Structure 1
Amino acid sequence: MMHEHLTSIYNELQTKYSYQKEYLQSVYEFFESISEVIEEDPRIIETNIIRNIVEPDRIITFKVPWEDDKGARHVNTGYRVQFNQALGPYKGGIRFTPKVNESILKFLGFEQTFKNSLTGIPLGGAKGGADFDPKHKSDQEILRFCRSYMMELHKFLGPNMDIPAGDLGVSQKTVGYMFGMYKRLTQRHEGVFTGKGTKYGGSLARTEATGYGIIYMVLAALKTYFQTDLKDKIVIISGSGNVAIHTGYKAQAMGAKVVAMSSIDGVIHHETGIDVSYLEYIKDNNLSIKDYTLRYPSAIFAENPKRIWEINCDIALPCATENELDLEEAKKLVDNGIMLLAEGANMPTTLDATHYFLDNNILFIPGKACNAGGVSVSGLEMQQNALHTYWDFDTVDQKLQTIMNRIFEDMYETARSYGDDKNLVKGANILSFKRVYQAMLEQGL
């Protein structure tokens, strides 16, 4: 049961933002988990701090005019949602996709605030982007768009103010274009972007970080709950973008058999094991995932991406997009005997699907903990920039593994202290909330 104080606030938000379904979903899921904390500490109600936490500090919206290669003029909408800086400067990615809107960026900024809290690195939460589709655009068109985007956004960025990174639709090359324009406008070379190229301040292992971090989290959970590891486990991974690809590589390196991956075009089911490197080649060359069967005729292709959830597996890793896995798919996974689901994307599981997994005693690791590897290595990149130094891949990878293990241990201990050591959703939400709440309380925010 949700505490009446939280119910009242949620009802207000629902009335005010009825059209922002992603944002409301993330708040509701969060509120469900922290009700017990409200009962423990009367100051939470006295200070009305929850209402403060659920509203972003500011939302910056601006037009982005740009010109295509034929000289035609276009105008997109750019955003930056600076959600909360109680723990440190704003930190969160930039995504370019036609689906970008205020609701999605508010949900992502809200989640980012608590994800960053879990890492233990002093960072606040933010998210940004534009409803620009980089697909089928030339490099010069993307460059022109990035320059126009930064003309407005640079005023709100800084290494101690707001540090973006790449996200969906924003590659390392795109980050470079934005960083280059930022330097032209400010005359400063500083660590204001993470996910940069390694030749000009980027960190090794940043590209792999989210995917590797997911697997480190899964390994920690398997050891704690099942006294086992990934060797010979059957794994399915939705998506075939950067996160999914490096999750696949690391899962295979740890002894798992990855039998299925997907894209917007459909699903590849390859019982003998997915050739992740070939799938990466397909992605990098903008080919259809169906082309995988040209090299591997024994692999099965299905046009509906949701068919991936019908495939028998031990572990499912949704790494594509929000709300890709609903209640019906959750039932199929449970019926097929899944032992663990870890969210690689941000909120890829609908609320009723999450409830179904928890009610059926399936170990469920929420995205705000599981996919924190990316921002963790972004924090390490910021440290290297501040020290004007450069760490080798193994050093960064080891630090990443240490951070992910610590997140799991802290989340697990929090869940256990609240009487349900298998409810890692509650563990992650309560732990991250307490850190943000305490910081706001001590600063009088």
Structure 2
Amino acid sequence: MVKPIEPEFQQALNELTTSLQPFLAANPEYQKALDIVQVPERILQFRVVWEDDQGRPQVNNGFRVQYNSALGPYKGGLRLHPSVNLSILKFLGFEQTFKNALTGLNMGGGKGGSDFDPKGKSDSEIRRFCTSFMMELFRHIGKDTDVPAGDIGTGGREIGFLFGAYKKLRNEFVGMLTGKGLHWGGSFIRPEATGYGVIYYVEHMIAHSCPEFSLTKPETLVAISGSGNVAQFTALKVIELGATVLSLSDSKGSLIAEKGYTKEFVEEIGKLKLAGGSLESLADTPGYTYHAGQRPWVLLPKVHIALPGATQNEVSKDEAEALVAAGARIVAEGSNMGCTEEAVDVFEASRKSGPNGVWYAPGKASNCGGVAVSGLEMAQNSQRLAWSTEEVDAKLKKIMTECFNTCLVAGSKWSGEDVSGGVMPSLLSGANVAGFIKVADAMREQGDWW
């Protein structure tokens, strides 16, 4: 079997294409829209030369994939990680296009970044990299053109350096980046938004399929992967509501809690991660067991809700089967395309088996809260005002509710399945079809296909 040249992008395209088959059978004219929407409007690739602390020049690849602007300015994060390549950024930009459509806000889709690794670098090295990166990127972005944000490796420090470089280059103070500091244009609960949004989406899934596993009950067991921004705030919201968080993880291994994580311990992990530390350093903490080189999915004998929150393809077929065997009822992605194609097949087969199967939510739906609050930050910047935490949180809850309902209705109508007898509609099909229709209709009205 020949491996695809761009495996991550091809996986995302295959998922969308498969979900769309019942819709395209009834509406064959939309095939042309699918042919066109899968091609990015523009791909930018450039070299980034920066100086390390020894005065030596270093070079990295810089990218921005401006995927689709039918619904608004390109919107999507900048990822700084050694794994970054065009396949990953194309898949992320493609997913972002439909994810942004599901928020109901006027945002197109894009993604960018570099194979630069901020880990182990000094603040001065990161600042010099960000300045050099922005010296090329600034000519291609703007508040009404393309509004990047943070992502893996790009936190508040990096956004600050990038914003400062743009401001000097353009001599203007505008909202051309989101994830900014609160006192210079950022939004309340932006750091929390993706994690909180996942939980707001999951609460609707629970209410529709398994209310006995409410997140207000300590006996509801929740497995989370990752220990970065998304995973931390997902865990903190679960703990706040009252359920039990069993796991967090990082690239080196998993830390399993015998009786559940506490708010204080998650906050300590947040400080550890901000300082570049690893969960491995917590291996001897009483009440917690560290498993080197393993993800949490096969380590837990009993799980009700699984929330992948680390990176793409972090749940394999075997791990999906382990979650089904452990009694999982809901799997919702906090990460983008967190489950492999084979894992998704396992979950979808479980869903179709009956009312006690696994209900799976793809990241383009369940984790859209982060970009939704980025969109709200853009709106606040345009009006030169700041909404309160309560206002932003209420708007986020409303967006996640509407996103869930949109996916539920579209999944019921276009999955091509019989959803009687307690079988839940496919949220995978619903998210893909609903997001696609919205983007495709806008493209047609703008003359991109006919």
| TM-score, normalising length: structure 1 | 0.94
User: Equivalents in 2 of 1:60, 1:189: separation in Å?
Assistant: 24
1:294-333 C-alpha deviation (Å, 9 max, x unpaired): 4x32311110232443312111111001111110101111
Q: CA deviation at 1:21?
A: 0.2
Q: 2:18 aligns with which of 32, 35, 41?
A: 32
C-alpha deviation, 1:255, in angstroms:
1.1
Residue in 2 aligned with 1:181? Answer: 165
Work out which of the residue numbers 163, 168, 182 in structure 1 matches 2:152. Answer: 168
- What is the rounded CA distance, in whole Å, between the counterparts of 1:305 and 1:163 in structure 2? 36
Q: Is the 8 A contact 1:278 1:292 kept in 2?
A: no
1:360 partner SS: helix
Q: Which residue of 2 aligns with 1:436?
A: 439
Task: Describe the superposition over 1:156-181 as per-residue Cα deviations: whole angstroms up to 9, x where unpaired.
Answer: 00111000000000011110110111
Which among 237, 260, 264 is matched to residue 251 of structure 2? 264
Distance 1:250 1:258 in 2: 10
CA contact (8 A) 1:324 1:350 kept: yes
Asked whether 1:292 is paired with 2:282, we answer yes
Give the equivalent residue in structure 1 for 2:427: 424
Match of 2:386 in 1: 390
Q: Is 1:244 aligned with 2:231?
A: yes
State the alpha-carbon separation in 1 of the partners of residues 378 and 274 from structure 2. Answer: 28
1: CA distance, partners of 2:30 / 2:198: 33
Distance (whole Å) between structure 2 residues aligned to residue 78 and residue 236 of structure 1: 35
1:129 has 2:132 as partner = no
Deviation at 1:225, TM superposition (A): 1.6
Deviates most, 285-294 or 155-164:
285-294
CA distance in 2, matches of 1:340, 1:301: 25
What is residue 218 of structure 1 aligned with on the other side?
A: 202
- Relative contact order (C-alpha < 8 Å, sep 6+): which is higher? 2
1:381 alignment counterpart: 377
Q: What secondary structure sits across from 1:191 in the alignment?
A: coil
Determine if contact 2:314/2:338 at 8 Å carries over to the other structure.
Answer: yes
Superposed counterparts of 1:55-204, under 5 Å: 55-204=39-188
Distance between the aligned counterparts of 2:322 and 2:4, measured in 1?
31
Equivalent residues of 2:336, 2:364 under 8 A apart: yes
Structure 1 position 331 matched with structure 2 position 315: no
Deviations 1:173-209 (A, max 9, x none): 1101101111111111111000000111000100000
Residues 210 and 329 in structure 2, CA contact (< 8 A), matched pair in contact too: no
CA contact (8 A) 1:236 1:317 kept: yes
Whether contact under 8 Å (2:297, 2:323) holds in the other structure is: no
User: Runs of 4+ in structure 1 displaced over 6 angstroms?
Assistant: none
Distance 1:148 1:407 in 2: 38
Q: Which residue of 2 aligns with 1:348?
A: 338
- Unaligned stretches of 5+ in structure 2? 352-357
Contact 1:324 1:349 in 2 (8 A): yes
The answer (yes or no) to whether the contact 1:310–1:333 under 8 Å persists in 2 is: no
Once the two structures are superposed, what CA deviation does each residue of 1:65-119 show, in whole Å capped at 9, x if it has no partner? 0000110111101000000001111000001001000000000000000000000
- Aligned twin of 1:277: 267
Name the TM-score, length of structure 2 as normaliser: 0.93
3-state SS in 2 of match to 1:18: coil
Instruction: Find the aligned partners of 2:171 and 2:21 in 1 and give their Cα distance.
Output: 48
Q: Give the Cα separation in 1 of the matches to 2:297 and 2:346.
A: 18
Alpha-carbon distance in 1 for matches of 2:28, 2:286: 63
Identity over aligned pairs, percent: 43
- The aligned residue for residue 366 of structure 2 is 370
The match for 1:5 is: none
What value does the CA root-mean-square deviation take over the aligned residues?
Answer: 1.4
Q: What is the count of residue pairs matched by the alignment?
A: 428
Question: 1:314, 1:326 → 2: CA distance?
Answer: 18
Name the amino acid aligned to 2:310.
Answer: A
In structure 2, the residue matched to 1:412 is 408
SS at match of 1:127: strand
Q: Give me the whole-angstrom Cα distance separating, in 2, the residues matched to 1:395 and 1:49.
A: 37
* 1:21 maps onto 2:17 in alignment: no
What residue number does 1:306 align with? 295
Cα separation, 2, equivalents of 1:414 and 1:42 = 17
Q: 2:28 aligned to 15, 18, 42, which one?
A: 42
User: Aligned equivalents of 1:281 and 1:116: distance in 2?
Assistant: 30
